[in-house]
Every structure is written in structure tokens, then in C-alpha cells.
Amino acid sequence: MTGLFSLVINLLVLASPLYMMQIYDRVLASRSQSTLIAFTVLVAGLLLTMGLLEIIRSRVLVRVGTRIDGLLHERVYQASIAQSLGAGQKSDDGPLRDLRNFREFLSGSGPFALFDTPWVPIYLAVIFLIHPLLGYVAAGGAILLFGLGLINEVWTRGTITTATTQGRMSDQLASASQRNAEALTAMGMLEGLRLRWQALHRRALHQQSIASDRAGAVTAVSKTTRLILQAAILGVGASLAIEQAISPGSMIAASIVMGRALAPVDQAIGNWRGFVGARAAYYRLGELLAAHAVKPEPLRLPSADTRLHVESLVAAAPGASTPAISGLDFDLNAGEAMGVIGPSASGKSTLARALVGVWALRYGSVRLDGVALDHWHPEDLSRQIGYLPQDVELFDGTVSDNIARFARDPDPRAIVSAAKMAGVHEMILRLPEGYNTAIGEGGSKLSGGQRQRIGLARAMFGDPFLVVLDEPNASLDSIGDSALTDAIRHMKAKGQIVVVMAHRPSAIEACDKLLVLHGGRQEAFGNKPDILAATTRNAEQIGENVTALPTTRMASAAAR
């Protein structure tokens, strides 16, 4: 459609030079007012039609950009989340910003140059028809301007890419600094990070300045060249008119047509920065969507209610060469709770991420009722899993929004039920607006303990079959510890499976089984009393101080 409009618009452009030829060659010679009026009315109608088509073409491109955004924004959003999981770090808004930049380029004037450029040879042919010499001048000018466009591409591509990369890095560092403003201020980190951000920002500005200087120089040369060419074609045309090889009207018409022929080249050079940015965004989006292609939806299965089976599990952080955990084998039945203990860096958090499916497995399997996690429909799996990560991340919204996982039209009774099971209902009622209290970005208006307890309620929302809690009492007081123990007992009574990664003995008080990890490997798994007794006995047999090792210290405390 846009191409068809461009076809008609570029044909109508010829109305103006034809009008000038008729004025100089017919009207002035005949001195006919009626002919002048007829030609003027005709060309005015054609130019008004061209203007109307320009408006329609612009509106079509805006809607094309909006349509592309509508088709891709959901996939880009989901792919950016998958990319973040695959990178093992929090993602920025880079992919969504790329989509926005691509849409804005399509909605602007940049694409007009692409649609109008194919008409350059046709305009040059018209000039050749007027006179070959004028055609050679115009063709030489077009080649010269195209060469300047290529120089602009080669000269600015590297610096623009570097500037974009450095700008992204500085923006990411600034965003991270804003999210952790309290820690930066309290520990005097602000100056060091400010200098690091400033260095990145200055490098980005330096590269951007180089690119802008080069693009500005090429633009200035291009503009000057175009003016010289217009003067040259008028001079050559005047010489031909003096020799009566062409009429004065043809001379003026050739100048107008050449201006139109060179306009797309000038327009392309002027919009080159936007074109380069849109092209880079297009390729990045293509790579992102290709790497995270839409998979066929698995068959919808009944909810799991029987068993969690882990077999020969090997997992690692995304991008890591060495597995963080390997060779894990255990089974849990409905109504059982397992504590996972071990020293720091033993693989507890890696196991938590593997159990809920946020980190891909290197080997082995995690199955609910015999079905591997990646064989479940994503919506079905999300309803069956509750997860409290070690770093609790809440989102800007109300308390009820966060507990309900931002579900559409959640059941208020389910929200209150989850809060009561987590022992946080009374605490929420004491907030200024209760469940409707806005908690701010990242839960900034809540204390660490409040965020953790609301995160626990979110993990329990909807009675998921598998609930994985990664150090759920790290920020809790004795009241919170007691509420956590009661919550685990309540989930067990409802036939749910609970896995608790623990550093403090109170977290495993209500657990039936224990898994002991050390160096990413499974040292022991079984009933809690047996594992605790064996762990303590082994430590005493080798003459170690029982309080020296984190695992044996926890075992001793739990046994008491």
C-alpha cells in the first residue's frame, strides 16, 4: 500500500516541472490568461492530491509501525525475560527499547527515502529526455551523492555501534545505582560508582561526538554539492537555451526534476543515524526472537498431586562452565517437607532454581507426577509452583497485587488465605491501606522482614503443589520464624511438597526429610532424625569440633 502511494506521489511530482515548462513555453509566448488559469487550476489540484497522499502515506507508516509493535511486543517481552534467565542476570529494557526505536523509525520520515530512491533513475531518464548533457550532469551528481552516502555509512558505523554499547552500559549502571541508592549512600560507594558511570558516559559521548562530527561533515558536503549541482544544471541549461537546443521552460523543469531526483539521497543522509539505529535494532530483535523461538504448546495435563522426582540432576549458572550441583537423586511425596542444608556455595540456591525451572538443566530431570518440567504447559506449571527466592523482589503495586502474582481478576479469598497461611494477614491489616497499600518499586516502602513474609504469601498463593523456599527466614524475627514453621506444617497438611534451603536451624523445624549438600554434591538424603544423628555422629568420630562446620552446627542445633 505504501509503495502504491509512493508510486502516485512520485508521478505527481512531475506536475510541477511540467507546469513550469508550459508556463515558459506556451503561456508567456501566447499571453493567454485562460490557458494560465487552466494550467494553474490543474497543477494546484494535482499538488493538493499529492499532499493528501503524503498525509495518508505517513499515517499508513505510523499504523504499520503500531501493527508491528502489536505483533511483536508480547514475544519480545517474553524473549527478553528468557534472555535474562539464560544470562543469569537481571535484564534491562534493551529489547523493548529496540522494538520502540524500530517502530519510531518506521513511523517517521526515514522510510520515505527508501520508497523514493527507486524513482531516481526514472527522474534521471526524464532529464536525459530533455537533453543528454543535462542528463549527464544530473547522473554525475546522483553518483556523487550516493558515494557520499556510502562514505557516511562506512565512516560512522563503527563509532555509532560503540557509542550505543557504551551508552547501554552507562544506563545499566545508573539504573543499578538507583535501585541500590541506600547501600551506595550508607557505605560511601557513590563516588566510586559515579566515577565509573562517568567514564562510561564520557566514552559514549566521545564516540557519539565523533559519529556526529563525521555525519555532520558528510551532510554539509552533501548539501553544498547539491546546491552546486543545481547551479550547474541551470548554467548548462541556460547555455543550451542560448543555443536554442532546449527551451527556457525545459531548463527550469530539468532543475526541478534533478532536485527531486537527488532529494531521496539527501533525505537518506539526513536520516542515516536513525536508519543505522533501526537496522541494528532489527538485527538484535531478529537474533533475540530466533534464539527464543515460540515452541509448540504442550498438552494440558491434570495438576500434579502425588510426587516430586529428581534424577541424576546436574545444573549450573547460565554461562558457567562448571556445574554448581551434580548427581542429585531424591523423591518427595505429597505432604512432605525437605530441608536442604550445607555450607555456603554448596549449591542450595542452584537447586532451588533448577526445581522451579528458571535455570535449564545440564543433565538429569525434575519431574512432577512423572512429567518433566519442560513438558508442562507454562500456565499449568506456574500454578503448581510457588517460589521464594533468596533475594525477594516485589513489584510496584499493592500488597494484594504482589500476593496474587499480578493475576487478572484474582479471587480475594485466595489472597487472604495465602496471607493467613504465611502468618502475614495481621501485619498487612496494620498497613495504612491494608491489602491496597502501594509498596513502591521493589517493595521500598516495606522492611526486609515484611518483604520476605509477603514474598512467602505470594509463593503460597493458589495452593501450589511444589513450594520452594530459598532461605525464607533470612530477614525474619522470632515471630516470623514461628509463622514460617506454621506455614510449612499447614502446607504439608494440605498435601503440598515443600523444599526449604536453610542456613538457620529454625527453618527446617517442620521438615520431615533432609538433603545435605557439600561442594555441589549430595552427601546424604533421608529422614531428618536419621540424617541429623548420622551427621553429628560422623563429625564426632573424626574428632572435629561440632560447632566448626555449618552443616554439623545446624544438625546439632536442630537435634537439640
Q: Classify residue 135 as left (phi > 0), alpha (psi -120 to 50) or beta.
A: alpha
Q: Average pLDDT, stretch 1-9?
A: 72
The domains of the chain are located at 2-291, 307-393+466-559
What φ, ψ does residue 501 adopt, rounded to 5°?
Answer: -85, 125
Residues ≥6 apart with Cβ < 8 Å to 323: 314, 315, 316, 362, 520
Residues ≥6 apart with Cβ < 8 Å to 507: 339, 469, 471, 472, 473, 481, 484, 500
Select, from the ranges 58-62, 107-111, 230-234, the one with the highest average predicted confidence (pLDDT). 230-234
Domains 2-291 and 307-393+466-559 share a fold: no
- The beta-strand segments (E) located in 266-348 are 307-315, 325-333, 337-341
pLDDT higher than 50, residue 86: yes
Query: What pLDDT score does 319 carry?
Result: 75
Pairing mode, if any, of strands 466-470 and 497-501?
Answer: parallel
Q: CA triplet 240, 245, 246: central angle to 5 degrees?
A: 80
Q: Average pLDDT, stretch 245-250?
A: 83
pLDDT higher than 80, residue 334: yes
Query: What residue has cell string 568420630?
Result: 541
Q: Average pLDDT, stretch 377-382?
A: 85
Mean pLDDT for the chain overall: 82
Correct CATH for 307-393+466-559 of 3.10.450.50, 1.10.1060.10, 3.20.20.140, 3.40.50.300: 3.40.50.300
Query: What pLDDT score does 509 carry?
Result: 87
pLDDT higher than 60, residue 90: no
Whole-angstrom CA distances from 558 to 283, 341, 500, 502, 536 are 56, 11, 14, 12, 11
Query: What pLDDT score does 544 carry?
Result: 42
Q: Average pLDDT, stretch 270-299?
A: 76
| Interval 135-165: pLDDT, tens | 898 888 888 888 887 787 778 777 877 887 8
Query: What residue has cell string 555441589?
Result: 520
Query: What pLDDT score does 50 carry?
Result: 82
Contacts 24+ apart (CB under 8 A), 48-53: 49/12, 50/8, 50/9, 50/12, 50/13, 50/15, 53/5, 53/8, 53/9, 53/12
pLDDT higher than 50, residue 398: yes
Q: Tell me, what amino acid is at 210?
A: I
pLDDT higher than 70, residue 527: yes
Give the span between the Cα atoms of 53 and 76, in whole angstroms: 33
pLDDT higher than 70, residue 457: yes
Q: Tell me, what amino acid is at 381?
A: L
Query: What pLDDT score does 368 carry?
Result: 92
Residues ≥6 apart with Cβ < 8 Å to 369: 304, 305, 306, 307
Higher local confidence (pLDDT), 371 or 189: 371
Cell of 164: 550505543
Q: Tell me, what amino acid is at 193?
A: L
Q: Quick one: what percent of the chain has pLDDT higher than 70?
A: 91
Q: Average pLDDT, stretch 455-475?
A: 89
| Interval 169-215: pLDDT, tens | 887 778 777 767 766 777 777 778 788 888 888 888 888 888 888 87
Query: What pLDDT score does 414 carry?
Result: 92
- CATH architecture under which domain 2-291 falls: Up-down Bundle (1.20)
Residue ranges of alpha helices (H) inside 295-341 are: none
pLDDT higher than 70, residue 303: yes
| Interval 414-442: pLDDT, tens | 999 999 988 889 999 998 899 999 988 77
pLDDT higher than 70, residue 238: yes
Higher local confidence (pLDDT), 492 or 287: 492
Query: What pLDDT score does 92 carry?
Result: 57
279-310 CB burial, b ≥16 within 10 A, e <16:
ebbeebbeebbeebeeeeeeeeeeebeebbbb
Query: What pLDDT score does 465 carry?
Result: 92
